[in-house]
Structure 1
């Protein structure tokens, strides 16, 4: 009913209008507002629309975090990824409340644990002692590429995001992720999980908004070392991003050519896609 000045409830009190939550970006371990000041509504919430400056800020944060994160022991990185899984497990019901199927949440938790287990094993598997014709030790070891730009898949919103972020960071890379604009809330909520875990600021940076607006700026940024185009569904847009990435010879992981079974065994391909091989020669003692 109305008293002429607005809606009232049965007790004659004005009807309460709920507060709409406004989600921010996740850059450098903090939650800044978008420089653009823009947002768009999703599920009765406001979600930030990232700008070109937000991309620059995220790359700057990711670059600043590379040295510390890549210098962390592999065992410690595994512990941190496992901690993320623990925190995600504790907020399982919140993700289900956002519309993420319970089975997908469980798969995402297990995916963090799976990659955590690889942290101190990937070098053993892909490193090598090479036979050479001479009195030398010749050793090859994988090293992180650096800053990886990621266009996350829209579906499955949570499992797809975890499946592209975890393999990139477990080997020592840092990431700037452009989240699909159609399903941003699981990614934003995951950023809250990351912020309350032991993950150092800047290792993962999540930008909501329209990847079609910000993608070319990320792909062309000269301080980004590699690009994961898994979330790109428009071939022309993918080609545009590949051309932009060629400016500094970025490694590019192209979009899948067909449907992806995100619940299947992910293998090691996503980890090795963003690793460089360093080979050292050392003379043998006499």
Structure 2
């Protein structure tokens, strides 16, 4: 029997709930931690990014308008599907990050647990971040958290699954939509997560995932006038100041990276939820 011909995978982008090729037709090779070829990934262009932002904006009304309870159920369903593909995620994390099998499995378990944690926050945000304000006069005054809109996410380059979940799950939990630039060198867990989202109850366009060169895509994402917030978690260190300046030009909220690189294993943070909402205060006269 002759040896089989190796059929290499070429993964696509995830935009608007579908899996299109990059309009440029470009791809780039993805290798494991030892430099061995794994697959080809689509290399997104500026046009792909614009289409992803359009898709995210189009999905924002439905997703932000859903009840908090419904969003929580949808996100919990994603966690169930993640659990069902646990072995695949572990293999991809082990290959990309060079982690031993047991370590890779613990990373996947932490990512699933973190997704569940943020799913549980969806119907608690209004209580924790909102308030009934004391006022002098015959009025009621309420402060209510609302999602900021379309969030551009530069995924952490070294934590291809746990870091990605840590920055993406809070975006969805507050009711915002996302355009994600996956880890350039380790995109496979992000691509598999996109496949999970496509088969879950998350509406198309709520999450749009691009693969390619982060340094090429980040400036266009930062300067896009229809992006309301930008998470710099995976931005190259030498590019962060430039990206903040570009975001300032369109009054885009920026989630900065603290000193040193984040440790994504330390646990979830409600601060990310707080950073992705805007507070609307409503006054209403009594007796009306």
With the shorter chain as reference, the TM-score category is: over 0.9
Counterpart of 2:224 in structure 1 is 221
Pair 1:185-2:188 in alignment: yes
Residue of structure 2 aligned with 1:159, choices 158, 162, 174: 162
How far did residue 232 of structure 1 move? 1.7
CA contact (8 A) 1:219 1:245 kept: yes
Paired residue secondary structure (1:55): helix
Counterpart of 1:198 in structure 2 is 201
Give a deviation string over 1:178-236, Cα, whole Å, max 9, x none: 112111111001100111111000111110000100111111010111100011232x3
Residue of structure 2 aligned with 1:283, choices 264, 274, 285: 285
Written as runs of structure 1 = structure 2, the 5 A alignment for 1:39-188 is 39-42=27-30, 43-100=37-94, 101-188=104-191
Unaligned runs of 5+ in 2: 31-36, 95-103
CA contact (8 A) 1:152 1:161 kept: yes
Counterpart of 1:252 in structure 2 is 254
Counterpart of 1:7 in structure 2 is none
- Which moves more between the two structures, 183-192 or 249-258? 249-258
Counterpart of 1:19 in structure 2 is 7
In the alignment of these two chains, the number of paired residues is 273
Alpha-carbon RMSD: 1.1
How far did residue 132 of structure 1 move? 1.0
Paired residue secondary structure (1:98): helix
Mapped to 1, the partners of 2:46 and 2:208 lie a distance apart of: 14
How far did residue 117 of structure 1 move? 0.5
1:99/1:161 Cα in 2 relative to 1: closer, same or farther (>3 Å)? closer
How far did residue 261 of structure 1 move? 2.6
Mapped to 2, the partners of 1:38 and 1:267 lie a distance apart of: 37
CA contact (8 A) 1:147 1:224 kept: yes
Give a deviation string over 1:261-285, Cα, whole Å, max 9, x none: 3122322101111100000000111
After TM superposition, the score normalised by the length of structure 2 is: 0.92
Give a deviation string over 1:74-93, Cα, whole Å, max 9, x none: 00000011000000000001
Mapped to 2, the partners of 1:200 and 1:123 lie a distance apart of: 23
Mapped to 2, the partners of 1:156 and 1:166 lie a distance apart of: 15
Give a deviation string over 1:123-177, Cα, whole Å, max 9, x none: 1001001111111001000000000001010121100000000001111100001
Paired residue secondary structure (2:73): helix
